[in-house]
Amino acid sequence: MRVSARPDRPALLDFDFVEAAPPWRSGCTWLAGARREAWTTAAPVAVRDDGDGDRPRREAGDWAAIAVHRAADADVADAAQALYARLIASVRPSAHPYLIRLWNFFGAINAGEGDAERYRRFCVGRNAAVDAMFRDPPPAATAIGAPDARAPLSVVALCSTRPAIALENPRQTPAWQYPREYGPVPPGFSRGAVLRDGDGATLLASGTASIVGHVSQHRGDVVAQLDESLANLEVLLEEGGRRSGARFDLEGLQALRVYLRDPATLPAVQARLDGLGLPGERIAFLHGEVCRVELDVEIEGVFGAD
């Protein structure tokens, strides 16, 4: 598996942050940097439908990608339960039964107070639909709020014929073990996943924010939040190497997404990443709302082994 903004072959996953239509488009507004993120494999890509015209599927050897979406319901829990039930029913009997990486996008992610917050309701709905295989352990994932409050719930899944190595971050409480203060159902995702295929080893980092243990850090300081997120990312890369025997570091960056709650913070965040020497052509900056209202930036990435 390789990820680039300029693929030399048809892509299994093709995130065009400017022109793609739902369900492949996140609903987040592109701000700067890479406009496209294409995931390619050595195997040719076949495109087909699951039968009802609403679940486009792409397959390439050991890998498959499937996307589902649904108009925003009054209660996002209902939409999440319906979509995940369809996703599980489609994936488990297939030749690619393992969910490896998930992206979840919907509008107004922080709307509502306490347990009525839409993100917490999303977690409730998803939990009601998934099976024991999903929870043991959960896949790597991202959940981001689209700037348009009316945006549909979109779920994109990367699936495989075999499981990945699920990763947790030693600096962070596993999300699926968060205490009750974060909602009636903890978020269902692992911090990352390591894949092995003909192209070697690849590490997929889940949505990563300024959280140590389970506590948000640096409220009101987007650059400090970015630095904490990067510290979490580097520890995850080390953990991926320890678990897999491969070597991962920032120099192996293939793609990075930076979600910003406030587009006005873009220059400061860009300057910080430029100072680290990361390749700007591989970084996409998107306007998206982090699932915790006090957090202003979230990152996710793909890294090849040295």
Active site residues per annotation: 298
The secondary structure of residue 32, as a DSSP letter, is: E
Are 183 and 115 in contact, with CB atoms under 8 Å apart?
yes
